[in-house]
Amino acid sequence: MILPTSTVWIDYFNGKNTPQTEVLTRLLGSDLYVVVMGDLILTQLLKGFRSEPDFQYASDLLLGLQVEKMLGHEIALQSAQNYRLLHQQGISIHKTTDLIISTFCMVNALTLLDTGDDFLPMVEHLGLQVLSCDEKVETLT
């Protein structure tokens, strides 16, 4: 199961051709993989649509995915603990949403699909799994 970040989705909806949007397109067209939508990411995405038709199109597509509640007390506590572990190592995470998203993925054994290095500290120090766009979709489990 794979969770694309809002950055990947924004590029996808804007028609940008990136390695991540290519992977996302293949994943959405496959019956072998589950693309998960988090409610936090859903909010981040849908708030940016200006026109009602675009909002409805995106909403219909995204709500057709497996939508998960990302922040309950378990994830909140674990996110705080992860922040503290990183902070003790001299690493600051500035975006609370990134911390929540990464913790959600780790707790639920999801692989993250992202475009940048924002999640790198969680990969290196906490074991977050991130999909390398060099991997072929067929090799994912």
C-beta of residue 121 within 8 angstroms of C-beta of residue 91:
yes
Q: What is the pLDDT of residues 89-140, one digit of tens each?
A: 999 999 999 999 999 999 999 999 999 888 999 999 999 999 987 655 555 5
CA 74 – CA 78 distance, rounded (Å):
6
- Determine contact, residues 141/131, Cβ cutoff 8 Å: no
Which residues does residue 37 pair with via DSSP β-bridges, in sequence order?
67
3-state secondary structure of 77: helix
Q: What is the mean pLDDT of the chain?
A: 93
The structural domains of the chain, ordered by start, are: 2-69+109-139 (3.40.50.1010)
pTM above 0.75, yes or no: yes
What pLDDT sits at residue 138?
53
pLDDT at 136: 53
